[in-house]
Structure 1
Amino acid sequence: MRHYEIVIIIHPDQTSEQIMHIIKHYKTFIMQNHGIIYRLEDWGRRQLAYPIKKLHKAYYILMNIHIEPVKISELKEILFFNEVVLRSMIITVKEKIVVPSVILKLKNDKMDKR
């Protein structure tokens, strides 16, 4: 089994309920295939670096998981054929990552200052 970092960019028209359903769907897939989720971060709706399908904002999700490489291939296929997923990126990492990302820290700092 290997460690992976996954970033999923979802169409901004999805409601928060739909986003939660999407997250639950991918979590279930990982758990059913004997994977471990070390970190799951909901970054929320953010500005894109460049337009994708004429959209300037999208919903971001980050996951760090541990799963078999064969199952990652299945996950890539599922992400590719999901119409609400604009982009996804899966990279192999050397070890598990459990600390909060910089983006989540910045998001939390902004919330604390309000």
Structure 2
Amino acid sequence: MKAYELLFFVDPAIDEETRAAVSKRINATVAEGNGTVDNVEEWGKRKLAYEVEGLNEGDYTLVDFHADPQNIAELDRVLRITDAVKRHMIVCRTDRD
């Protein structure tokens, strides 16, 4: 398994229940591929460099996890169809393998 880092942001106006559902969905998707979530850091509200879907700021979360490379495409697909996630980025961390 390789180490990965996922950074995503949601609209800061959404409720905590929806935000928790997004995190639960990410954890479930990683676990389905026999991966493990190592750490979750909630960065909170940050100003965006440019407007995204009418938003000037986003509520960021950083997730460190280990997964098989073939399961990353499924996680990316799940994040794309999750309406609450406005933008996301998954990066392979070769320094943490």
TM-score (norm 1): 0.77
Highest RCO, 1 vs 2 (Cα 8 Å, sep ≥ 6): 2
Q: Distance in 1 between matches of 2:64 and 2:95?
A: 10
Partner of 1:8: helix, strand, or coil? strand
Task: Name which one, 1 or 2, has greater alpha-carbon Rg.
Answer: 1
Unaligned 5+ residue runs, structure 2? Answer: none
Q: Which runs of 4+ in 1 moved over 3 A?
A: none
Q: Which has the higher strand share?
A: 2
Q: Deviations over 1:54-99 (max 9, x none)?
A: 21111111011110111100011111121221110011111439xx
Identity of aligned residues (%): 28
The number of residues matched between the two structures is 97
Partner of 1:74: helix, strand, or coil? helix
Partner of 1:46: helix, strand, or coil? strand
RMSD of aligned Cα (Å): 1.5
